[in-house]
Every structure is written in C-alpha cells, then in structure tokens.
Amino acid sequence: MARTQKNKATEYHLGQLKARLAKLRTELQAPSSKGGGGESGFEVQKYGDGRVALIGFPSVGKSSLLTLLTGTESEAAAYEFTTLTCIPGVIHYNDSKIQLLDLPGIIEGAAEGKGRGRQVIAVCKSADLLLMVLDATKPLYHKQILTRELEAVGIRLNRAPPNIYFKKRKTGGVSVNSTLPLTHLDDKLIQRVLQEYKIHNCEVLFKEDATVDDLIDVIEGNRRYIKCLYVYNKVDMCSMEEVDEIAHWPNSIPISCSLKLNMVGLLERIWDMMALVRVYTKKVGAKPDFADPVVLTADRGGTTLEALCRQIHNSMVGQFKYALVWGTSSKHYPQRCGLNHQLEDEDVVQIVKKKVNTAEDGRGRFKTTSDKPLRIADREKKPALKT
C-alpha cells in the first residue's frame, strides 16, 4: 500500500488491499485453537453506572490520577511499569457511581501483543469512556501512536457508527443502493471489497457519504465506537501559552496531578461525555425519592421509560400502564407518557401499573371476558323483534 501511488486509477486496488489487511488483522486477533493455559486477562467485574478506563504510555500519571479521583491507593513510583495489573476504583459524583480502571501502560506495538498490550486493549473495549492520559511535556505524536494502536484492534475513538445497512442473503446477488450521492465510493469499488470477503449475495444501503474504511468496518461487524477524552497531565511544567493551547483542542483537558489542578473540571467533562441520565422515582401520594436515583445511559439500554422499567424489574414492562413525568423532558407537569418517551437528566417518574385481580374468589370486580361462546354460530339467536 505504501508503494502504490494514490490516484483515480489505483483507488480500486487500494480498497481491495485495505479489505485484505482488515481481514488478516481480524484473523490475528482471533484466539488460537491450540490448547494450553493462556495468560490471564485484566478484566474486572462491572460495577456502578458506567465504566471509565485510563490508557496511556508508562509514567504519565495514570495511577496518581486514580488515587486523586477515587481514593483507591495505586502504587506510583519514578520508574516505568509500576502498575502491572488492572486496579479498579469508584468515583462518587452527582449521586452516581462511576467505575475507574487503572491499566498498565502500553507501548508501541501493543496491538501485536507487545507488553501484554492485547489484554490491556481488551479491557478498553468494555469501557463506556476512555481517558487517554498524555504527558504535556512529551511530543504530540504520542497521541497518534496510541490512536493507531487502538484503531488496529477495532476501537474507533470519538466517531459514530457508519449509517450503512448491510445484510447477507442466500440468493439474489449484490444489491447496492444509496439515499444520497456517494463521492468516495462507486459500484466497482464496493464489488471489489465484497469479493475480497467472498460475499456474493447481500444488500447494502448507504444512508451517508461513507468511505471504503466505513464499509469495511460494517462488513467486519466487530468494531467498537467509544468516546475518548485526552487528558494532558504535568501542565505545571509548561508555559501558560501552551496550557491555553491544549485547553482549546477538541476533547482535550489540561490537568496536574502533583498540584491537583483542574480536577473538578475533569470530573465535569467526564460527566458531560458519559451523558448519564438520573431518574428519580415517586410513589403515588408520596414525595420523590431524591436519595437513590436510577441512572440510565444511551450505551447501556437507552434512556427511554422502557429502559427504566427493565432496570427496576423485567416484569415491569408487562405490567406498565402509563407513567407520569415531571422534568425537562415533559411538555407540562405532570405529562402522561408511554414506554417510548425519552427521559432527561433529573426527571421524576411515577409508574402506574395495570389493575390486578384482588377479590377473594380470585375474580376481579368487573369481568374482562364474555361468557358467550367464541363462535358466533354457537351463540343463542335472539327472537326477531315484533313490529
């Protein structure tokens, strides 16, 4: 690919090579079929309302940041690779619990398995937000190296999944449609990529102006799209102009662990990027319970009333009749809503369930079914009206 010139004539060949490269990378990441005890991973049990993972090169201040934010003691020293395993902590912020994971530092070539890089990156795939901790005094290309390592194993940072519908079929050939003109792809290039994956019967619908990389990601189907916040530590060793420049970069925040600078701002940015929705429940005729909210997220089941019911109990959806909602998501107080209503942060919800038969004989006060036969032909015919 590096030797191939980039022009209109070679874009089909480059697209085919990109597809082949992605396919081979997926084969490399697949676990080997050979027996034997592999190395144990760093995975820890999920806890709280969200999970944040700290990733970065060795000795950039990840363990110090974990200790400051959670109070969990993580060994910090002046030599590299102080942390050798995954250390969890919990951030208590805005009535919610956010799990923070301190991971060992990764090095260049981690995607190929150097320095137990694969195990570290595997934990990152289960996170709701990545905090990429960078040293503000080191070169800026460190960020590109880490992003490249994560992209190589299928993690896409600060990007939405491509709006492409793709479905394999048994017969019917390849059907390609789009709702808008495609500037980066044409039918020939799409056919070449599908041939590389040996897909001869499928349906593809483009709902956005996608690139060949987006198409490959959709075909692979194992990509993970995660939000990432770039945390520049050790800004106490930089000039004010450099700190101001870092603060204006997208998805970036300057901090200092040694002087405890901008920790409140970091927590606010984490909260904003995770987009957690706190919902307070209310019983009929009682005040809302503001002590223990139900926390919903778009990544974990959604922020609808149905997601709230499922989080309380699985049987709640079947018993749901309607809900009364107070808060910014309602047009008036209270608003009567159904299961598809989208909730917003700090809404108050009162759920009304369907009536249950409570009489002593097991029957309700009012019958819901008729005693008449189901078939109309079996029913007793009434005599004709006298005229």
- Which CATH number characterizes residue 324's domain? 3.10.20.30
- How does pLDDT run across 153-175, given as a tens digit for each residue? 888 999 999 999 999 999 889 99
Cα dist from 299 to 50, 57, 160, 224, 240, whole Å: 9, 27, 12, 11, 37
Q: Are 120 and 246 in a shared domain?
A: yes
Q: Say if residue 35's pLDDT is above 50.
A: no
Q: How confident is the model at residue 265 (pLDDT cuts 50, 70, 90)?
A: very high
Q: Are 138 and 248 in a shared domain?
A: yes
Q: Are 110 and 235 in a shared domain?
A: yes
Which of 12-21, 99-108, 205-214, 268-277 is least confident? 99-108
Q: Are 107 and 228 in a shared domain?
A: yes
Question: 369 lies in a domain?
Answer: no
Q: Say if residue 215's pLDDT is above 70.
A: yes
Q: Are 130 and 260 in a shared domain?
A: yes
Q: Say if residue 99's pLDDT is above 60.
A: yes
Question: 237 lies in a domain?
Answer: yes
Contacts of 151 (CB under 8 A, 6+ apart): 157
Quote the domain boundaries for residue 194.
Answer: 162-220
| The length of the chain, given as a count of residues | 387
Burial class (CB in 10 A: 0-12, 13-18, 19+), 111: buried
Q: What is the CA radius of gyration of the chain?
A: 28
Q: Say if residue 177's pLDDT is above 70.
A: yes
Question: 31 lies in a domain?
Answer: no
Q: For all residues of the chain together, what is the average pLDDT? A: 84
* 159 half-sphere exposure, CB direction, 13 A CA radius: 16
Q: Are 127 and 80 in a shared domain?
A: yes
Residue 230: CB atoms within 10 A of its CB come to 22
Q: Are 310 and 181 in a shared domain?
A: no
| pLDDT score recorded for residue 230 | 94
Beta strands in 144-235 (DSSP E): 155-157, 164-168, 174-178, 202-206, 224-233
Q: How confident is the model at residue 75 (pLDDT cuts 50, 70, 90)?
A: low
Q: Are 182 and 246 in a shared domain?
A: no
Question: 382 lies in a domain?
Answer: no
193 three-class SS: helix
Count how many domains the chain has: 3
The DSSP call for residue 301 is: B
Question: 228 lies in a domain?
Answer: yes
- 355, two tokens: 């009536």
Which residue, 273, 307, 339, sits at the end of a domain?
Answer: 273
pTM exceeds 0.85, yes or no: no
Q: Are 108 and 188 in a shared domain?
A: no
- Residue 153: give its domain's CATH number: 3.40.50.300
Cα dist from 89 to 42, 77, 78, 181, 208, whole Å: 14, 19, 22, 48, 40
- 117, two tokens: 């890089």
